[in-house]
Amino acid sequence: MARYKFVCRSCKFECISSIGREVGLHSSRVAMVCKSCSTIDAYTVAHPGSINTEISRAPVCTSCHSSNHLSEWDGLTCPHCNTSMRALGGDVDAEKPFKYW
Ligand SMILES: [Zn+2]
Ligand SMILES: [Zn+2]
């Protein structure tokens, strides 16, 4: 799953994230935004009916440890000021071996 650097021109917020979701066998990696912490990160979301209990729980924010404020990120909207962010350059992992965690 390619990751890109995003920059907000309005509030200077920067993050590195993938866009959309990478669908796996039992779970997906989904770019999600926490409305409470204004952070963007990739989370593992289990598919409905998954038998893997490790990942069948709802994803929780890495900052506030709550799932209440997480929603799928549209790959565009700045979580701080709600203007459109821009992707800078190409895949940030292209030069390095890909690591999941
Ligand atoms: Zn912004
Ligand atoms: Zn949070």
Ion ligand 1: residues, CB within 5 A, are: 8, 10-11, 13, 78, 80-81
pLDDT at 56: 65
Ligand nearest to the CA of 9: 1
What is the 95 CA–ligand 2 centroid distance (Å)?
Answer: 30
pLDDT at 93: 81
What confidence tier does 99 reach under pLDDT thresholds 50, 70, 90? Answer: low
pLDDT digits (tens, 9 = 90+) for 7-48: 999 999 999 998 888 999 888 999 999 999 999 999 998 887
pLDDT at 52: 67
CA distance 25 to 22: 10
Ligand nearest to the CA of 33: 2
The pTM assigned to this predicted structure is 0.80
Distances (CA, A) of 49 to 44, 71, 72, 77: 15, 20, 20, 31
User: What's the chain's average pLDDT?
Assistant: 87
The answer to whether the beta carbons of residues 85 and 33 sit under 8 Å apart is: no
